[in-house]
Amino acid sequence: MAKALEKRGYTTLTPVQITVSDPKLSDADALVSAQTGSGKTVAFGLALAPTLLGGAERFERAASPLALVIAPTRELAMQVNRELDWLYEMTGAVMASCVGGMDMRTERRVLERGAHIIVGTPGRLRDHITRGNLDLSAIRAVVLDEADEMLDLGFREDLEFILEAAPEDRRTLMFSATVPKEIAALAKNYQRNAMRISTAAEREQHVDIDYRALLVAPSDRENAIINVLRFYDAQNAIVFCSTRAAVNHLTARFNNRGFSVVALSGELSQNERTHALQAMRDGRARVCIATDVAARGIDLPNLELVIHADLPTNPDTLLHRSGRTGRAGRKGVSALIVPLSARRKAERLLQIANLKANWATPPSAEDILRRDDERLLADPTLTDKIGEDEIETIDALVARYDAKQLAAAVARFFKAGRSAPEDLIEVSLEQRKPRERGNDFIPAETKRPRDGFGSSVWISVSVGRKQRAEPRWLIPMLCRNGNITKNEIGAIKMQPEETFVELSAAAADGFLGHLGPTSMLERGIRVTKLDGQPDLTPQPYERMPGEKNPRYDKPERRPDWKPKGEFDKKPRFEKRDGDKSAGAAAKPHWKDRDGDSKKPAKPFAGAKPFKGKRDEKFAKPDGAPRKPKAKKPDYS
């Protein structure tokens, strides 16, 4: 296995890989918490080796499986299968995968031929065990990768079924980014004296990721994503959406803009999802539009940028989405597209996740064009040595065109196929600038502190507790009638019959001037200017049973309001829109007609329906009518 690591380019191991390779853990159960991108797959591959190989260098002939690796999603299971395949390449290990979406008959034939290590998803593994295709009697070790995600996806029953089907003396390794109560309970029930492993590197969340919160106008969300993709020009990028419909929409939009895009969502078949990831690995596509199905365990090489088109629903999703970049010591950027209306939600999300983000606005069109010029000047093709096979072509170009024309052609070739940047609506970060306090982001206070109110004037308003006076409707009334703002109102002290209000001295004269000589607000509420500060000692007041006082906390009735029963009745006869002539008199009601007041019967033209047929049907052969049938006697 050391030769396989060397062949793969490994020079040093990550902290979690070093920890699980300790000889003290050779036969022990372990509960490992490690962040995404820390090399967990290679870590449990190394941890399984002593249990599966013992002292041997190669496996014997494949029969019943010796190890079982369970992953939450199909993509992660296929990725784990590939990683373990090259890691155990020189040991002669036979790998097999059992994942949903693949042909079960092919998997059954592979299991019948025999395999040393099985990698699969919980649902498909349970199906094979139930059908008798998978025999776990020889299992020596079971690995649960991303155990917390499997519980979140509702696989608890499937996991318990699989673990109960495996031998009790097996070795159980659980790898999880977080260890909630459910994981601890599962570990307690299915592990024996498990060792808890959490390295220092894992306790620091994503130190190689630069978090950026980009504030945008709600209508500019998609344009901001385009500008971010253009500005960073990442070799591989993922844009996360919350729904499949959003994935389809953005995929179509970005394809039209010239980006090489693939989609990844739950509605795609396993074959389509595999091809999409392979296109990203091969370089045929550079942008992946995905739902959270791709947030766990997917490892794309050279993934430099993660964009959250829709904000994550919880901090764990934010961490796992962002963990697709900044892996194995590489740097990455995680950009949150934050509409103005969702800024408070983004601040809470970052605060709970204990992450510090740089708040900014998306790159402008000028920033992107300037960045393009910098990339062009730094392009290595401008400094590479001229080859012998290129001299003839270069001489012909120099002889025909001048230097400026050749430079223009180089710039055009460089910018060809790149989408034009979008012109965004300007958004000010000062609207609600976050203020840093320790590791938390707290919105800056927008209210003026009361201790700096300055000189003031007191007024008395002729409503108090008896009239149910409250600041929530009294302050708008004062502002509306006195042409002032709430910042010019200071303390408010309620008394039983009146309310004392403190006004700014600079606004007091204007306030009283707008009220006029009557000093009235609305609905008979009077304002009186006081000389100096009144006695603000609260006076007790208790409402007596049956006490009725005028209420001002309800809206005033309209002037044209009338009690029930006093509305004018409509005239009995009035012209309708359907009348033929305007001068025609209205037809009187039948009760108002002269003569008999009885309602006339509707005239009937012709014989009663079916009269003749009914008489013919029930007539005797001689023509005489039949007698009616006698009623049956009632025996009740």
255-270 pLDDT per residue, tens: 888 889 999 887 787 7
96-121 pLDDT tens trace: 999 887 888 899 999 999 999 999 99
Between CA 67 and CA 88 the distance in angstroms is 13
Q: How many residues does the chain have?
A: 636
Give the single-character DSSP code of 607.
S
What string of DSSP letters covers 387-405?
PGGGHHHHHHHHHHS-HHH
Q: What share of the chain is helix, strand, coil (3-state, %, to 5)?
A: 40, 15, 45
State the Cα torsion 173-177-182-188 to the nearest 10°.
30
pLDDT of 395 reads: 87
Residue showing tokens 């040991």: 91
Question: Rounded to an integer, what distance in angstroms lies between the CA atom of residue 482 and that of residue 384?
Answer: 76
Q: State the DSSP H helix or E strand holding residue 264, giving kind and residue range, or none if neither.
A: strand 261-264
What is residue 202's predicted lDDT score, i.e. its pLDDT? 45
In one-letter notation, the amino acid at residue 248 is: N
Q: Tokens for 38, please give them.
A: 């820390």
What is the DSSP code string of 322-366?
HTTSS-TT--EEEEEEEEGGGHHHHHHHHHHTT---EEE-PPPHH
Q: How far is CA 265 from CA 145, 179, 317, 386, 476, in A?
A: 21, 27, 16, 46, 51
Residue 97 main-chain phi, psi, to 5 deg = -120, 145
| Residue 249 · residue 309 · CB < 8 Å | no
pLDDT of residue 22: 81
Q: How many CB atoms lie within 10 A of CB 490?
A: 15
Distance CA 10, CA 45 (A): 14
Domains belonging to the chain, first-starting first, are 2-203 (3.40.50.300), 209-364 (3.40.50.300), 450-529 (3.30.70.330)
Q: Which of 610, 611, 615 is nearest to 626 (CA)?
A: 615
- Can you read off the two tokens belonging to residue 381? 């093709």
Question: Given the DSSP bridges, would you call strands 527-529 and 456-461 parallel, antiparallel or unpaired?
Answer: antiparallel
pLDDT of 14: 81
Q: Tell me if 45 sits within 8 A of 118, measured CB to CB.
A: no
Q: What single DSSP character describes residue 243?
A: S
Give just the sign of the alpha carbon dihedral 310, 311, 317, 322.
positive
What is the block-wise mean pLDDT of the chain (636 residues), using blocks of 10 residues? 84 82 81 75 88 85 90 85 89 90 87 91 91 90 84 81 89 81 79 76 61 91 92 90 90 88 82 83 88 68 88 85 75 91 90 89 91 85 81 88 88 82 83 46 44 77 86 87 86 89 88 85 87 82 68 60 56 53 55 58 57 55 62 68
pLDDT (0 to 100) of residue 125: 92
Q: Are strands 261-264 and 117-120 parallel, antiparallel or unpaired?
A: unpaired
Owner of token pair 């203020």: 435
Residue 289 contacts residue 226 (beta carbons within 8 Å): no
- Residue 380's H or E segment, with its range, is none
> If you write DSSP's letter for every residue of 450-518 in order, what string do you get?
GGG--SEEEEEES--GGGT--HHHHHHHHHHHHT--GGGEEEEEE-SS-EEEEEEHHHHHHHHHHHTTT
User: Distance between CA 570 and CA 564 in Å, rounded?
Assistant: 15
Cα→Cα distances 99→120, 292, 312, Å: 5, 18, 27
Other CB atoms within 10 A of residue 250 CB = 22
